[in-house]
Amino acid sequence: MTRGELSGNVLLVDDLVDSGVTLARVQERLKERYPAITSVRLAVLWYKACSKVMLDYHVQFLETNPWIHQPFEEWDTVGPHNLGAWIKRGLQNTRG
């Protein structure tokens, strides 16, 4: 969500780009919703080779498309002592 009106040059920043579908849609939506925007540039930390969108700025290009482990992901805090319970809970959630 944005507050107020956007105009002129806009820099759209995200952590990473996989396929690029979401980033491209957000870029299009910004241009539709805020006609006073003259350009939208895209910047990410990690730019995966599988992306279909062209970026203006990135920190690291990832040619092999690895999975990025974000620090806010729940399983990053799982230690060896409770890994079994975590896996079991995940399997139960997929069985519905």
CATH code, domain with 37: 3.40.50.2020
pTM: 0.68
> Is 12 a member of any domain?
yes
> Is 86 a member of any domain?
no
DSSP-assigned beta bridge partners for residue 10: 40
Q: How many CB atoms lie within 10 A of CB 12?
A: 15
> Is 90 a member of any domain?
no
> Is 78 a member of any domain?
no
Contacts of 87 (CB under 8 A, 6+ apart): none
> Is 50 a member of any domain?
yes
Question: What is the number of structural domains in the chain?
Answer: 1
Range of the domain at 12: 8-71
Q: What is the predicted pLDDT for the residue at 84?
A: 75
Q: What is the predicted pLDDT for the residue at 93?
A: 56
H or E, element range at 33? helix 21-33
Nearest CA to 18 among 76, 64, 75?
64
| Vertex 70 angle, CA 69 and 76, to 5° | 70
**Could you tell me which residue, 44 or 94, shows the higher pLDDT?**
44
> Is 2 a member of any domain?
no
Q: What is the predicted pLDDT for the residue at 68?
A: 81
Burial status of residue 24 (CB atoms within 10 A of its CB: 0-12, 13-18, 19 or more): middle
Residue in the block written with tokens 């990135």: 58
> Is 20 a member of any domain?
yes
Convert the pLDDT of each residue in 27-85 to its tens digit.
999 999 999 999 999 999 999 999 999 999 999 999 998 888 777 666 656 677 777 77
DSSP class of residue 20 equals: S
> Is 84 a member of any domain?
no
